[in-house]
Amino acid sequence: MKVPLLDLKTQYQGIKDEIKEAVEEVFESQQFILGPKVEALEESVADYCGCKYAVGVSSGTDALLIALMAADIGAGHGVITTPYTFFATSGSIIRAGARPLFVDIDPATFNVDPVGIRKLIEVECSFDPATEQLVHRQTATVIRAIMPVHLYGQCADMDPILKLAKKYHLLLFEDGAQAIGAEYLSENNHTMRAGSMGKFGCFSFFPTKNLGGCGDGGMVTTHDRDSAEKLRVLRVHGSKPKYYHQLVGGNFRLDALQAAVLLVKLKYLDGWTAKRRAHASYYNSLFQQSGLVEKGFITPPRAVWEDRFSKRISNPKSAVQNPQFNGHIYNQYVIRAQARDELRAYLVEQGIGTEIYYPISLHQQECFAQLGCSKAGFPESEKAALTTLALPVYPELKPAQLAYVVEKINSFYPDNG
């Protein structure tokens, strides 16, 4: 049996006629840059994410960069973020001229640890209430923002992060590249979608994402009208009107062809998410039955808000009545595994696709050496890089394929059974 990590061809076969019709409309209009398709997608994504505005851009990476530019974050500024994420998170901060300040991850979620953020602020920084400036003493940077990442499709623990941002007058940028449609259950028992909780939400439409285009694409969400307008100006080289520039922007436009494809796919996104959640639940059940979890060979992911916040669901008017709340969209189903690299090689031999997200922590990347981070300064991130493995979880998988994956993992560990 073959179980690829992702099978976009199967997904395409089910919506091929709609995609072709949508693309043909763009060709007939001959309007390929921005235009009505992009505007329609912006309105749909803003509504889907629970935001007032959305601005289409050229990629998820550019979504992060242009959001930082819109907030005038640059030289001399610091942004608190995680070292365990895709390169674009910190790469965009560096490209904006600012400095990433890393905080280790929560091992249960792989997302940035709010306790670590608080400790960094209280131990390593000085805050001046008069100027509302938070200064990192060692690097002399003025911390302007926090950039949590909703990794693998699960929201970071946002309540404490939001409180810290408010207390220290910091902007909040949500890196939701893997998390469109992911939900967070707040302390006041409200569900909030990724991208709706901060100043800006940044999304990617890379083809492998839950909502993926046929090339690069991205979106920035915000509740602030002026910020949305500034984003629109910055994405066209800072010009308004055309050829008149008060700002230096860039070519960050979303193509109409991508918008047309994404508008078709957006209609199916909730259904695809439901299937991913069902697959994750089946995996979890199979792993438990196999004994792999009990014996410590495998640690499956879990939607931590399910148990962490279940006691908060008591308000009869709440949108969330299910005590098994699960806001995870499973962009990736990531396990921790003993002998991870050997297991991966074995699964390749069995026709099973896997991936390591991510094999090296950002603070250990050669190009970030100038940050002066200790090579062993973020132990949970470093441990995750050595032990995590993503398994196939795309919507079109069959139960037999999921069972085959677990069966082969079980057979890899001779001491199990």
Q: What is the CATH number of the domain that holds 194?
A: 3.40.640.10
Q: What is the pLDDT of residues 308-351, one digit of tens each?
A: 554 444 444 444 444 456 799 999 999 999 999 999 999 999 99
Position 98 scores a pLDDT of 98
Q: What is the pLDDT of residues 232-278, one digit of tens each?
A: 999 999 999 999 999 999 999 999 999 999 999 999 999 999 999 99
Is the sign of the CA dihedral 59, 185, 172, 120 positive or negative?
negative
Give dist(CA 4, CA 76) in Å, integer.
Answer: 45
Residues 347 and 305 in one domain: yes
Q: Is residue 173 a contact partner of residue 145, using CB atoms and an 8 Å limit?
A: yes
Give Cα 368 to chain centroid, integer Å: 21
Residues 280 and 184 in one domain: no
User: Which of 192, 249, 204 has its CA nearest to residue 50?
Assistant: 192
Q: Is residue 184 a contact partner of residue 191, using CB atoms and an 8 Å limit?
A: yes
Of 266, 292, 320, the domain-final residue: 266
Residues 254 and 280 in one domain: no
DSSP 146-191: EE-B-GGG----HHHHHHHHHHTT-EEEEE-TT-TT-EEE-TTS-E
Q: Is the pLDDT of residue 118 over 90?
A: yes
Asked whether residue 29 is domain-assigned, the answer is yes
Residues 308 and 357 in one domain: yes
- Range of weakest confidence among 98-102, 273-277, 297-301, 373-377: 373-377
Whole-model pTM: value is 0.94
Position 187 scores a pLDDT of 81
Q: Is the pLDDT of residue 154 over 90?
A: yes
Residues 227 and 325 in one domain: no
Tally of domains in the chain: 2
Residues 242 and 291 in one domain: no
Task: State which residues form the domain around 211.
Answer: 8-266
Q: What is the CATH number of the domain that holds 338?
A: 3.90.1150.10
Residues 325 and 208 in one domain: no
Residues 127 and 276 in one domain: no
Residues 255 and 398 in one domain: no
Residues 199 and 276 in one domain: no
Asked whether residue 124 is domain-assigned, the answer is yes
Asked whether residue 1 is domain-assigned, the answer is no
Of 266, 284, 311, the domain-final residue: 266
Residues 194 and 133 in one domain: yes
Q: Is residue 249 a contact partner of residue 69, using CB atoms and an 8 Å limit?
A: yes
411 phi and psi, to 5 degrees?
-70, -20
Position 284 scores a pLDDT of 94
- CA neighbours closer than 13 Å in the CB half-sphere of residue 182: 34
Asked whether residue 2 is domain-assigned, the answer is no
- Tokens matching residue 394: 């795309």
Helical H segments across 333-398, by residue range: 340-349, 379-387
Of 233, 266, 299, the domain-final residue: 266
Residue with tokens 């131990």: 123
Residues 274 and 212 in one domain: no
